[in-house]
Structure 1
């Protein structure tokens, strides 16, 4: 058996200030720190005692701060992977969300959706975003640990799940797995058939 516990960081300053997140390096709020502690406790309940755990996190401040109480509770070090970052919104990062909303060009219903230009200077395309998250999940999957914790962002969670399930990148043109701040998603691989399942999506009962 193998399990991946995917955490989306809890409340951060850009949430309450109405700013675009992305690669903007916001911190957790006081409430977010309390939620991060609750996440760590819930993970301790989910993961059997005595097993070895690996911890991975996006390198942005809000995810690093989420990973800190988890690292302390499990006595491990967080491995920081920039590939787990949220989508880059280029020059929109850290600006008011309304600024981005006025300029954002949504993808078409059909046709080119992955490499679509959203009209924001310096922003990643969806293809660039998905590709780097897939690469990060591939790195995580190369380990033989049975229990791994991944701390990432609400948007990037979709690509962590898709990569774990083995969906082709092309499927991400439409696929999405929505999660709220502070949720825990559990991905499972059985030890006989090696089938991979989405066991739990966005558990927030601990918050």
Structure 2
């Protein structure tokens, strides 16, 4: 049996300021820091004496969350930029209204999974899927029985899709509703050779 706890980072400054996140390197708010501590305690209660390996996006809001968790669990930490949120290019750090005003929708004859929204520097959904699938393979290859992955809401959906074996070509349309500070659980059952999304977005630890 292998278990992977997927944590979406808690409240960050771009949330409260109404700004586009993506690769904009926002920090945790004071509330977010407190929430990260609660996430760490919830994971400690679930894991008991087990020490997981810990993987995180390199953006500040996820890295700080992961450092708080690693400190509580005594877990080794690997920083993986492929666990980042989707880049929104020039829109990163701008008001959400700016992004909505500048989005260019895909045409009916266009492959929407490779559409860049008309904003310079924006990643296509397929580009995000490809790097997240690569990150998930590295996590799977890690020999630890338990792992914790700290990432972003949009990225989490693609991690789940990769875990359950959704083909890359279909994964760009995958959507699993998660919220800031949620903990989801992935489980590999070696006996049945099954990859399970065992729990989606636990939030009771946030109070």
- Asked if TM exceeds 0.5, the reply is yes
Q: Which residue of 2 aligns with 1:20?
A: 20
Q: CA RMSD in A?
A: 1.4
- After TM superposition, list the pairs within 5 Å mapping 1:196-207 onto structure 2: 196-207=195-206
Between 12-21 and 114-123, the greater mean CA deviation after superposition: 114-123
Q: Which residue of 1 aligns with 2:159?
A: 160
User: Deviations 1:64-84 (Å, cap 9, x if unpaired)?
Assistant: 111112101111232000000
Supply the distance in 2 between the matched residues of 1:125 and 1:18 (Cα, whole angstroms): 23
Supply the distance in 1 between the matched residues of 2:3 and 2:106 (Cα, whole angstroms): 34
What secondary structure is seen at the aligned counterpart in 2 of 1:176? coil
- After TM superposition, list the pairs within 5 Å mapping 1:68-147 onto structure 2: 68-107=67-106, 112-147=111-146
Contact 1:2–1:188 (8 Å) recurs in 2: yes
User: Deviations 1:89-132 (Å, cap 9, x if unpaired)?
Assistant: 00110111110011113456886221123111110000111111
Q: Which runs of 4+ in 1 moved over 2 A?
A: 105-111
TM-score normalised to the size of structure 1? 0.95
Q: Which residue of 1 aligns with 2:192?
A: 193
- The answer for unaligned runs of 5 or more in structure 2 is none
- The answer for unaligned runs of 5 or more in structure 1 is none
Contact 1:3–1:188 (8 Å) recurs in 2: yes
Deviation at 1:181, TM superposition (A): 0.3
Q: How many residues align?
A: 206
User: Deviations 1:17-74 (Å, cap 9, x if unpaired)?
Assistant: 011000000000000000000000000111131x231000000000011111210111
Supply the distance in 1 between the matched residues of 2:15 and 2:71 (Cα, whole angstroms): 26
Supply the distance in 1 between the matched residues of 2:18 and 2:167 (Cα, whole angstroms): 34
TM-score normalised to the size of structure 2? 0.95
- After TM superposition, list the pairs within 5 Å mapping 1:170-181 onto structure 2: 170-181=169-180
